[in-house]
Amino acid sequence: MTSSSSVNQFKDVTHTNLHDSGASPQQDQPKKNNQPCLKLKGSLVPMTVLELNHYNPEQIEKDLKSKTTQAPGFFENLPVIIDLDKLDEYEQVPFDTLITQCLNFSIKPV
pTM for this prediction = 0.61
Q: Tens-of-pLDDT digits for all 110 residues of the chain?
A: 444 444 444 444 444 444 444 555 555 555 667 888 888 888 888 889 999 999 999 999 999 999 999 998 999 999 999 999 999 999 999 999 999 999 999 999 99
What is the number of domains present in the chain?
Answer: 1
Domain coverage including residue 73: 48-109
The CATH number of whichever domain residue 80 belongs to comes to 3.30.70.260
Question: Residue 23's pLDDT is what?
Answer: 52
Contacts of 103 (CB under 8 A, 6+ apart): 109
Is 91 part of any domain?
yes
Question: Residue 59's pLDDT is what?
Answer: 96
Is 59 part of any domain?
yes
Is 67 part of any domain?
yes
Is 25 part of any domain?
no
Is 24 part of any domain?
no
Is 15 part of any domain?
no
Which whole-number Å values give the CA distances from 28 to 12, 22, 24, 37, in the listed order? 22, 10, 7, 20
